[in-house]
Amino acid sequence: MHLRCTRLLEMVRRMQENKHQKGKSLSINVILNMFRTFMNMAFPLITYPYVTRVLGVENLGKYNFASSIIGYLTLISAFGISSYAIREGAKLRNSREQENAFVNQMFTIGMITTLLSYVIMIVLCGMRSIEPYKYLIYIQSLSLIGNAVGIEWLNSVYEDFAYITIRSLAFQILSIILMFAFVKSENGLYIYAFICVLAGVGGYVCNYLHSKKYVRVRLTKNVELMKHLRPLLFFFFSNLTTTIFVNSDQTMLGLLSGDYYVGIYAVAVKIYNILKNIFTSILVVVMPRVCILSGQDEDEPQHVLSETILKMILVIVIPMAVGIYLTSEKVVLIVAGAEYIEGVSALKILALSVLAAALASYTTYIYIVPGAFDKILLIGSTVSAFINVVLNLFMIPVWKHNGAAFTTLISELVVFAIEWMYVKPKLDHRRVFKTCIQSVASCTFMALTIYLLDRLSCSTVRLLFLEVCAGVIGYCACMIIFRNEMVMYGLKKLQRK
């Protein structure tokens, strides 16, 4: 069966040699972005245990509440530009003049919407319920102008993931140094917020300077707003509804249950988002390539690439979800400490949501956005956001952080279910289903291994390390026995090297 996978991926390799790709290697980009994602996982694991203990639950809750407000303002500032610009910019990148005009139009629109977001921020900070958080919001709002100037999406258009990886690594190291040097007590909350923003804004400044490699970025009067407005509004309202169900749990948890439960829940969400970034790193790399293929006459190359990516996602995400569910208590103890142990139950629920989120992200990045099915994207995100808010109103007062986690799971499932109705006819379900069965069966052996190791008497850190290593080895061994397509192809590539 791995021979078929070889043929599939050979087709992908030939697509990479297409003149439109200008030498960019999809496989190298995936590796680079996954490495960046791994580092994004590693650095929080270094700093977060320190921050949670130094700042405390209450301060962490305040920081995350302010972050949720900034999340809404960022949405207004971004205005759906990133996804739209990647989709359309990827198609124009071989025409320097058209690409330059398009980039400047997006840059100008972004600056206008950023100014609007600052006006709204000033109004919000005058409200009695938000006023106590205004200084945290002011500090974090530096990311709004930084994001507008940084035009991060341009690097994705040109698939320049080597630069993104190096820049990200440099500013992560800088933020760690500053974190340990200046955040010493609970009084360091504002310093912590400034350091987090400084690292991001520094990266955005580098982006602006780096953009000269491709285009000359400047404001323009020829915005052609009416041409771009309709698709931008689709992406904006889709992102708005998505942000509602991403941020509403922490926002509503803070308003209905207080900062303490936001702090408890924030730990589970932090781990959940780290896991989500793993599969997102793959999809972000592939999307510009899929956008180009979607504009060509032949459908087969896009279907081949899409099916292969789905199998890769399933092979990675299913054991990830099972593993974090089984080891959730040890993970919380190591990452945040015993003070946050109440967050274990929320993390277990979010572990189930990881798989739902992976499938929803796959349908969005690989089919809905590249195919310009903006209405489907909007419908899915709107329905899920409405369900999320309504469920939060009823569940958070009763089940606190666990209720917020459960509504997140339901929302992700709703998005996937709506988009799956469109994607389903385009996939060979038999081959995908076989990959799922192999992964689930291998996870059963992995779960048994972790259960037996749990009986050992040793430190939490050592036990988690043993369980992760034994679980990964056991899972991979089972997948080799089943001769899984993706795993066998990976082994074949390693043997060649």
Q: What is the pLDDT of residue 367?
A: 86
Q: What is the pLDDT of residue 487?
A: 87
Q: Considering only CA atoms, which of 288, 296, 26 is closest in space to residue 157?
A: 288
Q: What is the pLDDT of residue 56?
A: 83
Residue type, 370: P
Residue type, 432: V
Q: Please say if the pLDDT value at position 3 is more than 60.
A: no
Buried b (16+ CB within 10 A) or exposed e, 237-268: bbbbbbbbbbbbbbbbbbebbebbbbbbbbbb
Q: Give ∠ CA 440-444-446 in degrees, rounded to 5.
A: 110
Share the mean pLDDT of the chain: 84
CA distance 268 to 305: 33
Residue 221 phi, psi (nearest 5): -85, -25
Residue type, 182: F
CA distance 476 to 430: 22
Q: Please say if the pLDDT value at position 114 is more than 90.
A: yes
The alpha carbon of residue 71 and the mean position of all alpha carbons in its chain are separated, in whole angstroms, by 14
Q: What is the pLDDT of residue 295?
A: 59
CA distance 230 to 12: 33
Mean pLDDT confidence for 139-159: 86
Mean pLDDT confidence for 175-185: 88
Q: What is the pLDDT of residue 157?
A: 82
Q: Please say if the pLDDT value at position 84 is more than 50.
A: yes
Q: Please say if the pLDDT value at position 4 is more than 60.
A: no
CB 311 within 8 A of CB 362: no
Give Cβ neighbours of residue 3 (< 8 Å, ≥ 6 apart): none
Mean pLDDT confidence for 466-495: 89
Reading the block at residue 333, the tokens are 């103890």
The model's pTM is: 0.75
CB 432 within 8 A of CB 307: yes
Q: pLDDT of 387-434, one tens digit each?
A: 988 999 999 999 999 999 999 999 899 989 998 888 877 776 677 888
Q: Please say if the pLDDT value at position 92 is more than 70.
A: yes
Q: Considering only CA atoms, which of 8, 19, 48 is closest in space to residue 331?
A: 48
Of 16-30, 201-215, 395-409, 462-476, the least confident:
16-30
Q: pLDDT of 264-293, one tens digit each?
A: 998 899 889 888 887 787 787 788 777 777
Mean pLDDT confidence for 230-257: 83
Residue 152 phi, psi (nearest 5): -55, -30
Reading the block at residue 214, the tokens are 């491709």
Q: Please say if the pLDDT value at position 8 is more than 50.
A: no
CB 15 within 8 A of CB 301: yes
Reading the block at residue 53, the tokens are 């203990």
Number of neighbouring beta carbons within 10 Å of residue 420: 16
Mean pLDDT confidence for 106-119: 94
Quote the percentage of the chain above a pLDDT of 90. Answer: 31
3 state SS of 299:
coil
CB 269 within 8 A of CB 250: yes
Reading the block at residue 144, the tokens are 């709004």
Q: Please say if the pLDDT value at position 47 is more than 50.
A: yes
Give Cβ neighbours of residue 360 (< 8 Å, ≥ 6 apart): 380, 412, 413, 415, 416, 419
Q: pLDDT of 454-476, one tens digit each?
A: 988 889 999 999 999 999 999 99
Residue tagged 């080597």 (tokens): 162
Range of 179-193, 195-209, 246-260, 296-310 with top mean pLDDT: 179-193
Buried b (16+ CB within 10 A) or exposed e, 31-56: ebbbebbeebeebbeebbbebbebbb
Task: For residue 18, name the pLDDT band (cuts at 50, 70, 90).
Answer: very low
Q: What is the DSSP secondary-structure string of 194-253?
A: HHHHHHHHHHHHHHHHHGGGT------S---HHHHHHHHHHHHHHHHHHHHHHHHHHHHH
490: alpha, beta or left? (left if phi > 0; alpha if psi -120 to 50) = alpha
DSSP, res 419: H
Task: For residue 300, name the pLDDT band (cuts at 50, 70, 90).
Answer: low
